[in-house]
A and B are shown apart, each in its own frame.
Chain A
Amino acid sequence: MHYLDHSATTPVLPEVRDAMLPFLEDDYGNPSSVHSPGRRAKEAVEDARDRVANAIGSSPAEVVFTGGGTDADNLAVKGGAQKLRGNGNHIVTTSFEHHGVLGPAEWLTGQGFEVTRVAVGPSGVVDPQVVASATRKSTVLVSVMTVNNEIGTIQPMAEIVDAVKSVNPNALVHTDAVQALGNLAIDVDLWGVDLAAFSAHKVGGPKGVGALFVRSGVPLEPVTHGGGQEHGLRSGTLNVPGIAGFGVAAEIAAKEVNEKQQHVRKLRDRLLAGIRSAVPDVVVNGDLDRRVAGNLNVCIPHAEGQILLLLLDQAGIACSSGSACASGAIDPSHVLLAIGVSRGLARGSLRFTFGRRSTDADVDAVLEVFEGIVAQARKVAA
């Protein structure tokens, strides 16, 4: 199997697995317990908190562990907006956010909030001035993703924060940075954001673990109530093995970010060159230069992404197309529609995302079959 879907998830790194194992069988204590097994578990959590904080440029006290990226986004968007309800009822986000942000924003419209989703042009890079002009006095929260999950484009976070704060210094700025970790050097202070969501499994960590950076002093209403873990912001017994794994994964992601970018850029560029020569009318979605190096998102005119995907799967290549709904069917990507790709063309999208273990052999495998698969898929009428 040639796995080129690292934006969906990544294999757990051996170092990460080794860091997790002790907390499954031997040191299985509950970190809230007073006894020594509990203290050992607590130590592992705090050790991981240090590592994650180092990886994102925050202090450990600003890291709240969650049940994943979407969980962190929910806490940021719902928790931030509801806490600042007294200041206003307006939220700004973009039309190409991850559903982890779009979902809670949509839910908040049912709670009396108004949501502005700013448009994003074909480049897939948000214009800070457009975000600023959507910001009002009544805006309580602005949420713009750092790196788009489908097209990989990088948003100018520092400029966006500056532009928003110059209009309304009280508005919280959140960023879904799930796709940024491991693909960009991260410094939440440099960005100036108030909130930032991260996920372990995108960087060689386990699934079901994430973190929300909450800048010191930023007010949040909890979404999950209970035993008061994580400063009362995310109740529930901590996922100790997962968190221990996340700590190691985040540390490695930050340490190896440049090396990985160089590695995946070479592979990505070679894949694109090969695809262009096999299918000359291929369309690259979003700005190729202002994106993370391991992402390639293309549309194949006159072909259905779902058929390309199945044919590639049959050929032992795993990639993705559009967005999968609950049944597993593929709908045209809301991200591509948001950046102005036509519905017809958007149906023919394919996303290849590389990871640190990707090799030239993976690229060779795609290029070996690609022209034939496209020809096969093009036999099917729309």
Chain B
Amino acid sequence: MTRRKAVVAMSGGVDSSVAAATLVADGFDVTGIMLKLWRGESANTASGCCNVGAAEDARRVADVLDIPFYVLNLADRFENSVVKDFHDAYASGKTPNPCVRCNQWVKFDALFERAMALGADVLATGHYARVEQRDGRFRLLRGRDERKDQSYVLWMLTQHELARSCFPVGEHDKPETRRIAAELELRTATKPDSQEICFVPAGDFDAYVGAQMPDAARPGPIVDSGGRVLGRHRGIGRYTVGQRKGLGISVGVPLFVTEVDAHANAVVVGPRDELTVSELTVDEVIFGAEIPVPGIEVLVQHRAHGEVAPGTLHPQGHDRAVVRYHEPIEAVSPGQSAAFYDASTPEELIGGGIISATVAATAVA
């Protein structure tokens, strides 16, 4: 029997290093691939996954595992999709999640396609998630380590990709991952987790807005829900729904950003009760295994590493869904992803999409 072939997306971090090591141990014919996503040598020397130091780390891990290692240049794709979307979203008053978009358009699209062209049976990454086959369908489950779970950023995987994806560290918790790396003497064993957006230099988002997003850096008014001007903002790209700090306004009660109005170049603020949301409209929806019955009970996660809240899910048309929360929730930013977990099997992600609109709880009441 011929060995199954796996391409592992290696970032130079400990998780993808252990993913590769696990597949080697499981008998796969493994090829490591790192993506070069940024033009020039390096966007971010401190963190991220596309600098030369990270490539050297990944290459040395591949050497230890005795697997072929290549760096694929997908900088044009990344720039024209993920970075462009990031800028467009901020300019239209939304708060994008570039890691989701990178998974959607780069890792599980451009890379996936190339891995398959190279003859791979599966594409593996270092995400904390799991894939399980049940009732004839491949299903995405949360990683065993609740605190590290990354299923939220993988909601876009369709059956086609789920059937050919694998997440070896999803079975472990993070300390276990590090222990495996240390046992194998991989040089990435103690490397800190990357936190920042890989293409924002030195993690300085404020400077990035000024330099790269002129449309989102134009000053404008801060207003309340009645349209009364309370102050000036420094460009809508620097504000996100739920934000309290940096408004520079004092009116006696704490004020929060409740809406970013790109059309009027205004930031809308209000007291905490104006942050509550009872309903979401979610677009670009993908259901990885099957389209659920309307009104299904779900747990909805609306930000990375955020809490889930119960509600019902109502698919509309081919790629839209409405979430009705049982109890109002706070601070939902359009542009972020909503991931749906089946309330009866709360580990299973059944779908997700991009939040396009919210209904304020006060409006319903």
Contact = CB atoms under 8 A, between A and B. Distances in A.
B62 to A, nearest CB: 11
Contacts of A326: 41, 52, 55
Majority secondary structure of chain B interface residues (helix, strand, loop or mixed)? mixed
A307 B117 contact: yes
Interface string A298-323: 00000010110011011000000000
Interface string B85-114: 000000000000000000000000010011
B6 interface: no
Given A327-B34, A327-B52, A327-B55, A310 B41 contact: no
B117 A376 contact: yes
A310 B55 contact: no
Nearest to A324: B71
Given A328-B70, A381-B113, A314 B41 contact: no
B291 interface: no
Q: Among B41, B50, B110, B118, which residue has the most Cβ atoms of chain A within 10 A? A: B118
Nearest to A313: B68
Contacts of A311: 117-118
A329 B71 contact: yes
Interface residues of B, number: 21
Interface string B40-75: 010000000011100100010000000010111101
A328 B117 contact: no
A184 B118 CA distance: 38
A120 interface: no
A376 B110 CA distance: 15
Contact of B73 (A306, A313, A379, A381): A306
A380 B110 CA distance: 8
A63 to B, nearest CB: 35
B32 to A, nearest CB: 11
B71 A380 contact: no
Contacts of A381: 110, 113
Contacts of B68: 313-314
A306 B76 CA distance: 14
Contacts of A380: 113-114, 117
Contacts of B118: 307, 310-311, 314
A329 B73 contact: yes
A325 interface: yes
A331 interface: yes
B346 interface: no
Contact of B72 (A306, A313, A314): A306
Contacts of B116: 379
Contact of B114 (A307, A314, A325, A327): A307
Given A314-B119, A380-B114, A325 B59 contact: no
A330 interface: yes
B117 A327 contact: no
A377 interface: yes
A16 to B, nearest CB: 28
B36 interface: yes
B55 A328 contact: yes
Q: Among A325, A376, A379, A381, which residue has the most Cβ atoms of chain B within 10 A? A: A325
A65 B137 CA distance: 67
Contact of A325 (B41, B70, B72, B119): B41
Given A307-B118, A311-B118, A327 B113 contact: no
Given A327-B34, A327-B36, A327-B55, A377 B117 contact: yes
B113 A379 contact: yes
Given A306-B72, A306-B73, A310-B70, A329 B114 contact: no
A331 B73 contact: yes
Interface of A: 304, 306-307, 310-311, 313-314, 325-331, 376-377, 379-381
8 contacts: A310-B70, A311-B118, A325-B36, A326-B41, A326-B55, A327-B55, A328-B55, A328-B71
Report the 3 A-B pairs with minimum CB-CB distance, sorted nearest first: A329-B36, A327-B55, A328-B71
